[in-house]
Chain A
């Protein structure tokens, strides 16, 4: 695993992973057809994967129920657009706020446990919320979900259009801001403490760190970011449905993170990108065989490439440019 050093501060430059991501972003923007809409989904998933990376990769909070915050964010954004105002940024703030609140409520329950127990607790929490969303028709529309709301122009200037151009730039900008925020958090003293807790929480406790409070803070931040991801998707797609809370969403985002490489922010980005592009192509060909390939892929990745694609890119970078290996 990571060795905790301050070298994180020196990694502000743009490496191969970042270049690849920016390149993909530009390509997606200029591709014709539905790719911009796929691009928006990818960007939302990148934000979502970043949030899970914060909690799991850096904080060591094992979550297989992160869809809770993603889904709650989506519903909050939809409800806000339906009942309060159509302003997209305020809607996103409400999504972040609701998801953060949910994280603050579920956090104490989930953070009490460790390891497998923690994983199961997060699954259980997600199941409770999903069940609630399905039954509470007055709030969530039940199985039909929420739809038929409109999202107004950004800053009152740029209206969302059917080409998805504005939507893509909107989502992309927020993703970049989120990435920068995450990098700031990870490299701050708070982030270092969090990594210390992940490595050895007893030791951190003996050093006088308020371990529980730190982890809860991290969990709330992670929840809020996941909420933003869900909110963006709900705003741009125009639907908030129970699917967004399902176990498969939690599973998928974890798979993305593992493909990319956990405990590194570029890993979340690369993983989400690779997963979404592959699954889009594969789903167009044959969704079930894709599941087969994904399953085999997952087993092989854990076995042979446990550090993910991003680390592989770093290694290539090292070999080609001979740059000093980070970490």
Chain B
């Protein structure tokens, strides 16, 4: 089976990239504010549902709905950040976890109230629906597409972090928030902006990834563990680390499930636990 590994690799890669997009906002909030936002995946889910609602009401294609859905989630993110999260910032770390868990519950219940407990995958455009046949093996066009788009987004994120003024400030704030404040960076504003961007990215990932992570009310509770592990393995605040962790997870998990269906989904956790034992601060985290 000469082609199978390559095909599995593509599948795993796109899965990993979606995971990265969904958890990137989490990495940044953890890095700057040491805030563990358990409700973060709620934004990914709400993005998916928003896209679903837009597609249904206006009878438009996925990619017409996508920007509006992402925008809607960003606006919601800003609204929440300006309101409830002001309370969240003021409590102790445990209180922050509990409050955001509370917010997550509210999101779960609202999603169920509006869309029911059915599983949804967003219908993809005809042009991306097919499969490519390579020597007897089929490869989903959509998966390749998702992988490419996410890679482009990741590249844009990297450029934004590396070459813009905003990125430089953000890096400074992740490195040392107090020092950043001292040199005149408005860390609070910066954080709000990063939070909104993180919500948008999560929504983007949530919308594109419904083929792999289908929409359902318990989406946030189900995948938050995965996202947290990705963030922890990558190292708090390190986007590069999260990217490596997420892609490794996606690829490794896909391979294991294919070759050892019995213990496949378990093996990856052992690997991740091993990483955390050897490097408690993650792959790219400082010691």
User: Which positions in A face B, CB cutoff 8 Å?
Assistant: 62, 64, 109, 112-113, 115-117, 119-121, 123-128, 131-132, 134-135, 247-248, 251, 254-255, 258, 262, 288-292, 294-299, 301-303, 306
Question: What would 20 A/B residue contacts be, using CB atoms closer than 8 Å?
Answer: A112-B280, A117-B232, A119-B97, A120-B231, A121-B276, A123-B225, A124-B225, A124-B229, A124-B232, A124-B273, A132-B269, A288-B108, A288-B113, A292-B105, A292-B110, A296-B106, A298-B105, A301-B98, A302-B99, A303-B99
Main secondary structure of the interface of A (DSSP, over half): helix
Which residues of B141-189 have CB atoms within 8 Å of chain A's CB atoms? Answer: none
Count of chain B residues with Cβ under 8 Å from any Cβ of A? 46
In the assembled complex, the CB of A117 is this many whole angstroms from the nearest CB of chain B, namely: 7
A127-B225, A247-B221, A298-B102 are known contacts. Are A117 and B236 too (CB-CB below 8 A)? yes
B273 — which chain A residues lie within 8 A by C-beta?
A: 109, 124-125, 128
Counting chain A CB atoms within 10 Å of each CB, which of B98, B217, B224, B270 scores highest?
Answer: B98
- Contact, CB under 8 Å: B101 / A117: no
A124 — which chain B residues lie within 8 A by C-beta?
A: 225, 228-229, 232, 269, 272-273, 276
- Contact, CB under 8 Å: A135 / B228: no
- Contact, CB under 8 Å: A297 / B102: yes
Which chain B residue has the least Cβ–Cβ distance from A62?
B94
Q: Does B258 contact A (CB under 8 A)?
A: no
- Contact, CB under 8 Å: A116 / B236: yes
Q: Does B277 contact A (CB under 8 A)?
A: yes
Cα of A254 to Cα of B93 in the assembled complex, Å: 14
Which chain B residue has the least Cβ–Cβ distance from A120?
B232
Cα of A112 to Cα of B105 in the assembled complex, Å: 30
Which residues of B218-269 have CB atoms within 8 Å of chain A's CB atoms? Answer: 221, 224-225, 228-229, 231-232, 236, 262-263, 265-266, 269
- Contact, CB under 8 Å: B97 / A64: yes
In the assembled complex, the CB of B218 is this many whole angstroms from the nearest CB of chain A, namely: 9
Say which residue of B104, B110, B266 sits within 8 Å of A135 (CB atoms).
B266
- Contact, CB under 8 Å: B99 / A299: yes
- Contact, CB under 8 Å: B236 / A123: no
- Contact, CB under 8 Å: B232 / A121: yes
In the assembled complex, the CB of A294 is this many whole angstroms from the nearest CB of chain B, namely: 5
A291-B109, A292-B105 are known contacts. Are A115 and B228 too (CB-CB below 8 A)? no
B138 — which chain A residues lie within 8 A by C-beta?
A: none
- Contact, CB under 8 Å: A251 / B225: no
A255 — which chain B residues lie within 8 A by C-beta?
A: 98, 101
B225 — which chain A residues lie within 8 A by C-beta?
A: 123-124, 126-127, 247
Instruction: Tally inter-chain residue pairs, CB-CB below 8 A.
Output: 128
Cα of A303 to Cα of B220 in the assembled complex, Å: 23
Which chain B residue has the least Cβ–Cβ distance from A298?
B102
In the assembled complex, the CB of A313 is this many whole angstroms from the nearest CB of chain B, namely: 20
- Contact, CB under 8 Å: B266 / A116: no
Cα of A119 to Cα of B105 in the assembled complex, Å: 19
- Contact, CB under 8 Å: B232 / A295: no
- Contact, CB under 8 Å: A248 / B221: yes
Cα of A295 to Cα of B91 in the assembled complex, Å: 17
The 0/1 profile, CB within 8 Å of A marked 1, for residues 106-130 of chain B is 1111101100010000000000000
A126 — which chain B residues lie within 8 A by C-beta?
A: 225
- Contact, CB under 8 Å: B263 / A135: yes
B281 — which chain A residues lie within 8 A by C-beta?
A: 117
7 further A-B pairs in the complex, CB-CB below 8 A; given A131-B266, A302-B95, A302-B98: A64-B97, A116-B93, A117-B236, A123-B228, A127-B269, A134-B266, A251-B101
B262 — which chain A residues lie within 8 A by C-beta?
A: 135
B95 — which chain A residues lie within 8 A by C-beta?
A: 302, 306
A132 — which chain B residues lie within 8 A by C-beta?
A: 266, 269
Counting chain A CB atoms within 10 Å of each CB, which of B103, B270, B272, B276 scores highest?
Answer: B276
Cα of A254 to Cα of B95 in the assembled complex, Å: 11
Cα of A131 to Cα of B265 in the assembled complex, Å: 7
Q: Does B30 contact A (CB under 8 A)?
A: yes
Cα of A288 to Cα of B218 in the assembled complex, Å: 11
- Contact, CB under 8 Å: B36 / A299: no
A290 — which chain B residues lie within 8 A by C-beta?
A: 109
B113 — which chain A residues lie within 8 A by C-beta?
A: 288-289, 292
Q: Does B87 contact A (CB under 8 A)?
A: yes
Which chain A residue has the least Cβ–Cβ distance from B282?
A117
A131 — which chain B residues lie within 8 A by C-beta?
A: 265-266, 269
- Contact, CB under 8 Å: A120 / B99: no
Cα of A302 to Cα of B105 in the assembled complex, Å: 15
Say which residue of B102, B221, B269, B272 sits within 8 Å of A299 (CB atoms).
B102
In the assembled complex, the CB of A111 is this many whole angstroms from the nearest CB of chain B, namely: 11
In the assembled complex, the CB of A102 is this many whole angstroms from the nearest CB of chain B, namely: 14
- Contact, CB under 8 Å: A302 / B112: no
Which chain A residue has the least Cβ–Cβ distance from B113?
A288
In the assembled complex, the CB of B44 is this many whole angstroms from the nearest CB of chain A, namely: 17
B30 — which chain A residues lie within 8 A by C-beta?
A: 116
B104 — which chain A residues lie within 8 A by C-beta?
A: 295
Q: Does B131 contact A (CB under 8 A)?
A: no
- Contact, CB under 8 Å: A299 / B109: no
A127 — which chain B residues lie within 8 A by C-beta?
A: 225, 229, 269
- Contact, CB under 8 Å: A298 / B101: yes
User: 9 tightest CB-CB pairs across the interface, nearest first?
Assistant: A295-B105, A298-B102, A292-B109, A295-B106, A299-B102, A291-B109, A295-B102, A128-B269, A120-B232
Q: Does B84 contact A (CB under 8 A)?
A: yes
